[in-house]
Structure 1
């Protein structure tokens, strides 16, 4: 996949039908609707599919250019193909109680100038083609244009021959963020790292 094949826009400039096509109705993205770090309580116990879908629709503000939105949508040759969630870190209440972002670091949990990339979804038929790479790169400009001073991600370490299910890898792979210019600033679990880019230093 070359850069010329991919167009990435804020979700509020995409249609809701395009986002529905990306998430589908089954598989992990279709069930979660990018609410793992948003939904109160235990996502599968304390929210319904309909509630999660409604939450995503409100958060993305699809079809409402100029409204606040919660991520980016990628098109490949004009077809809706991928999604990445990127917002102020404070927009994800589940991050506050997770040890992943905070282990070994002194961070102000209420600092909304630090943004976070929390979720990728790639439409069936477009997976395995490297679409998360341009999506990760696009989060940098998107966050910086909206006043972020730093951007974080919490990806997984992938190893050859070691299978990781799509549900686990929705946070992205370490190499995807390293390729985009993020640097590792924490390693809170054997398979999870914290990657960060200081936006004032990025051209």
Structure 2
């Protein structure tokens, strides 16, 4: 089996939709929880709106797009996974909310555009446990570095009994295996990991 990872704009919008599917948490969220702007509530933002936003953010189907957010993984040429990676300030819900676990005990400029963040790693059903998540996390490093990031961070769960809602940033071991280092432990269930460039 071979895994290939590309910037999301190099995938078609239909392939992006296939990864997220039509049922379940991923289909509903469309990686918009941290993308909501001040005054928006997740429960009051229609799924169709979240769907359209993800397409716009990724520039899916436009290989020549100057800006794209995220990565797509293919397992034997079948769309298999998604990873949200972008400048940290693009995730307004993450940087704005001081109640986020990731900020406990940290004092820094949350709006620094040179710091990038990985907020979601998702593998489509039927393609799990085959290295897709690991390939996506590994690819985030060059993706962020070549776009000018000075640091790339993520917020993985550390509890093996996590629910899907908690698990969306990925597992700690996946990041450690890719070369990230733990830089903060805001809780027993969450770590902040980073790679400095």
Gaps of 5+ in 1: none
Question: 2:5 aligns to what SS in structure 1?
Answer: strand
Residues 35-85 of structure 1: per-residue CA shift (max 9 Å, x gap): 0101243312x2001110011011010111232111000001010000000
Give how far 1:164 is off: 2.4
- Cα distance in 2, alignment partners of residues 100 and 34 from structure 1: 18
Gaps of 5+ in 2: none
Residues 128-171 of structure 1: per-residue CA shift (max 9 Å, x gap): 32311110000000000000010000000033xxx322232111
Question: Which residue matches 2:26?
Answer: 29
- Please report the TM-score for the alignment, with normalisation by the length of structure 1: 0.90
- Cα distance in 2, alignment partners of residues 171 and 70 from structure 1: 15
Contact 1:87/1:117 (<8 A) preserved: yes
Give the number of aligned pairs.
192
Question: Which residue matches 2:59?
Answer: 61
- Cα distance in 1, alignment partners of residues 187 and 53 from structure 2: 30
- Cα distance in 2, alignment partners of residues 145 and 135 from structure 1: 16
- Please report the TM-score for the alignment, with normalisation by the length of structure 2: 0.93
Question: Which residue matches 1:91?
Answer: 90
- Cα distance in 2, alignment partners of residues 87 and 164 from structure 1: 24
Give how far 1:27 is off: 1.2
Question: Which residue matches 2:149?
Answer: 148
